[in-house]
Structure 1
Amino acid sequence: MSVKISEKALDHVIDDMVEVVENSKDEIFNISEEARREHDHLVLELKETKEKVLQHIENGDKLEERVRFSRKRLAEVSKYFERYSEEDIREVYENTHLMQTNLAILRQEEKALRDKRDELERRLITLTHTINRAEGLAGKISVILNYLQDDFRQVNEMIENAKEKQEFGLKIIEAQEDERRKISREIHDGPAQMLANILLRSEIVERTIRNGSMDEAISEIKSVRKMVRSSLYEVRRIIYDLRPMALDDLGLVPTMKKYVDSISDYNNIPTEFSIIGEEKRLNSKYEVAFFRLMQESIQNAIKHSEASQIQVKLEIRRNSLTMVIKDNGKGFDVSKKKDKSFGLIGMRERVEMLEGELHIQSSLGKGTAIIIKVPY
Structure 2
Amino acid sequence: MVVKTREKDLDYILDEMVDVVENSKDEIFNISEEARSEHEQLLRELEYTKAKVLQYIEDGDKLEHNVRYSRRRLSEVSKYFDRYTEDEIREVYESTHELQTKLAVLRQEERILRTKRDELERRLQNLEHTIRRAENLANKIAVILTYLTDDFRQVNEMIEEAKEKQEFGLKIIEAQEEERKRISREIHDGPAQMLANILLRSELVDRTFREGSPEDALEEIKNVRKMVRGSLYEVRRIIYDLRPMALDDLGLIPTIKKYISTTAEYNNVKIDFKSIGEVKRLNQKYEIAFFRLAQEAIQNAIKHAEATLISVKIEICTRNLNLIIQDNGKGFDPTIKRDKSFGLMGMRERVEMFDGVMEIDSAIGKGTKIIIQVPHKRALV
The TM-score normalised by the length of structure 1 is 0.44
Instruction: Name which one, 1 or 2, has greater alpha-carbon Rg.
Output: 1
Name the TM-score, length of structure 2 as normaliser.
0.44
Q: Which has the higher contact order (CA 8 A, sep 6+)?
A: 1
